[in-house]
Amino acid sequence: MLLKAGHLSEEELTDVFYNAETDEILQFRSNRIHTKNTHGTGCTFSSAIAAFLAHNLPLNEAVAKAKEYMEKSIAAGAAYEIGKGHGPVHHFFNFWE
């Protein structure tokens, strides 16, 4: 189970992951990135976990790498001005310069 903290109001966020296979609780801390471009972060996060699992990473490592990817993709897309409302993260930040 993964509890995301992005909708909370604190400046330091803590996502909590419970690995039922190993009975471990992992905490992933990050600083809030001030942006409205967060549309689809939940779907992107879960897809990133699945992609890292497909690369045969252990579950805890897949979640940790997905969290790192999410932080970087949110930061890279933070300044986008696309339409109205919540914009996307920069999914391909590591391919574009």
The span from the CA of 69 to the CA of 30, in Å, is: 12
- Decide if 44 is catalytic: no
- Decide if 42 is catalytic: yes
Summarize the confidence of residues 32-60 as an average pLDDT: 94
Among 61, 52, 67, CA closest to 21: 61
> Would you state the pLDDT for residue 81?
82
- Decide if 4 is catalytic: yes
Choose, from 38, 44, 77, 87, the residue flagged as catalytic: 38
pLDDT digits 0-9 by tens, 47-65: 999 999 999 999 999 999 9
CB count in 10 Å sphere of residue 96: 8
Question: Cα–Cα distances in Å, from 30 out to 2, 22, 65, 97?
Answer: 15, 24, 13, 24
- Name 58's Cβ contacts closer than 8 Å, sequence gap at least 6: none
- Decide if 65 is catalytic: no
Choose, from 35, 40, 65, 72, the residue flagged as catalytic: 40
> Would you state the pLDDT for residue 83?
79
